[in-house]
């Protein structure tokens, strides 16, 4: 099955040839242009690609001008900007103008792959929103779908706080949809047309997380050959989601507290403070109040973040959402996997509704994907069976739940290795 089509626009022909060959070997369709002059004309005649990789500098024209024209004429086509060292200000401006992401040359092949995968994943979510039977209102988040009274209350609170700029702390088990809630808040805020930047605080070592959040100046450390803007800078006038904030080190907790209190931060190696104008959302699956009492999380930072807290209930407490989510995932993945499945068999759906879903929506999504690829009811039921068997003794029940959790973790590792909040 062919993957998405990528259009690369760069005046460096050797870069064009190498990148095009690399992406073709990964299964992508690739088109190339060595000039930005005819880009809009080419899109009008040859059709729009799935993603555009756009260099930030061309002879006689700036890539930001081209980006501006693209956003006006083809706003639905995501753009990844390609920059050279020393172009941090242009990168920040590109993100403000609506670029999805940026890569600094020279970059690793894996960085390019991950950036494209992120774009396509978000584009897929947007496509599902557009094709959903219950078409969302303009500006609504179509992938925040629920029939649960508990989730209706969550959505109501989120809609009310969206219009304010106060921090919001989102609580809940892994996989319940904290990132979806964060995007919902962003879409309904006054910052909706500005960047939404997500940072996973558990995915990077502390020293790398610091440079990722706050950026660095040239020469700040070995290997810092040019300045790099941090996520707070890229999220200027937009929203930044600090996912898994409970894993942040005490040193970074102190720096984040300074940002929230004074609206300022320093790049690594910087000599002047920079203003932070980004709405801060935080998410965690930990009970931060317990972490505070144990001295693992700063109390002052906790109260700064906990202006408004929203707890998302686990999927087992809202089983009425399971058929709705299954339909959403079938619509999302059926074409991708060339599956003839249009709905789940009744006995399988019944098992899904009765299953406790320790991995929450993420586990449900992977179960639906598995069935679309291998529509074997017996094999799918076998995975779910341990958690839905009635077990009289509490220790035995706990053991069976552990088996189910390990099965879910293995499925996530095989099918979707990136963390999802």
Residue-wise pLDDT tens digits, 335-358: 888 899 999 998 899 899 999 999
The pLDDT of residue 92: 79
Contact (CB, 8 A) for 132 and 244: no
Rounded Cα distance between 117 and 23, Å, is 12
| Pairing, β 274-275 against β 264-265 | antiparallel
The pLDDT of residue 318: 93
Judged by DSSP in three states, 342 sits in coil
Residue 135 structure tokens: 């078409």
The pLDDT of residue 30: 94
Rounded Cα distance between 130 and 125, Å, is 9
Residue 353 structure tokens: 């509704």
Judged by DSSP in three states, 265 sits in strand
Residue 103 structure tokens: 């890569």
The pLDDT of residue 245: 96
Rounded Cα distance between 241 and 307, Å, is 15
The pLDDT of residue 337: 85
Among 231, 268, 229, 279, CA closest to 104: 229
Residue 360 structure tokens: 């929450």
Residue 24 structure tokens: 């073709």
The pLDDT of residue 75: 81
The pLDDT of residue 221: 80
Confidence (pTM): 0.67
Rounded Cα distance between 373 and 330, Å, is 11
Length of the chain: 421
The pLDDT of residue 38: 76
Judged by DSSP in three states, 108 sits in coil
Q: Which residues of the chain have pLDDT under 50?
A: 1-2, 128-143, 387-421
Rounded Cα distance between 324 and 292, Å, is 38
The pLDDT of residue 95: 81
Among 258, 309, 301, 257, CA closest to 283: 309
Place of tokens 């929230």: 260
């Amino acid at each position: 099955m062919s993957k998405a089509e990528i259009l690369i626009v760069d005046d460096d022909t050797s870069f064009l040839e190498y990148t095009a060959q690399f992406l073709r070997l990964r299964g992508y369709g690739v088109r190339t242009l060595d000039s930005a002059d005819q880009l809009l004309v080419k899109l009008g005649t040859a059709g729009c690609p799935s993603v555009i990789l756009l260099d930030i500098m061309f002879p006689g024209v700036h890539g930001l001008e081209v980006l501006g024209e693209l956003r006006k004429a083809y706003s639905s086509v995501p753009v990844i900007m390609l920059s050279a060292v020393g172009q941090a200000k242009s990168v920040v401006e590109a993100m403000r103008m609506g670029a999805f992401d940026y890569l600094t040359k020279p970059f690793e092949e894996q960085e390019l792959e991950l950036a494209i995968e992120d774009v396509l994943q978000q584009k897929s979510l947007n496509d599902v929103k557009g094709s959903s039977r219950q078409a969302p209102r303009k500006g609504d988040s179509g992938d925040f779908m629920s029939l649960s009274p508990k989730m209706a209350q969550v959505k109501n609170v989120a809609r009310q706080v969206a219009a304010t700029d106060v921090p919001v702390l989102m609580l809940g088990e892994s996989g319940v949809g904290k990132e979806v809630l964060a995007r919902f808040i962003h879409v309904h805020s006054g910052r909706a047309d500005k960047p939404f930047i997500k940072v996973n605080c558990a995915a990077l070592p502390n020293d790398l997380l610091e440079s990722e959040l706050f950026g660095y100046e040239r020469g700040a450390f070995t290997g810092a050959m040019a300045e790099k803007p941090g996520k707070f800078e890229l999220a200027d006038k937009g929203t930044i989601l600090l996912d898994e904030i409970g894993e942040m080190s005490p040193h970074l907790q102190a720096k984040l507290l300074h940002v929230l209190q004074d609206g300022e931060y320093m790049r690594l190696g910087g000599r002047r403070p920079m203003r932070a104008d980004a709405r801060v959302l935080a998410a965690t699956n930990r009970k931060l109040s317990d972490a505070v009492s144990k001295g693992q999380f700063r109390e002052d930072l906790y109260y700064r973040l906990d202006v408004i807290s929203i707890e998302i209930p686990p999927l087992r407490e809202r089983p009425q959402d399971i058929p709705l989510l299954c339909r959403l995932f079938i619509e999302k993945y059926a074409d991708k996997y060339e599956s003839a499945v249009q709905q789940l068999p009744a006995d399988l759906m019944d098992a899904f509704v009765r299953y406790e879903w320790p991995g929450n929506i993420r586990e449900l999504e992977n179960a639906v994907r598995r069935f679309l690829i291998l529509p074997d009811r017996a094999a799918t039921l076998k995975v779910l069976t341990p958690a839905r068997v009635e077990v009289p003794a509490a220790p035995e029940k706990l053991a069976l739940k552990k088996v189910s959790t390990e099965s879910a973790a293995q499925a996530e590792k095989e099918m979707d290795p990136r963390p999802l909040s």
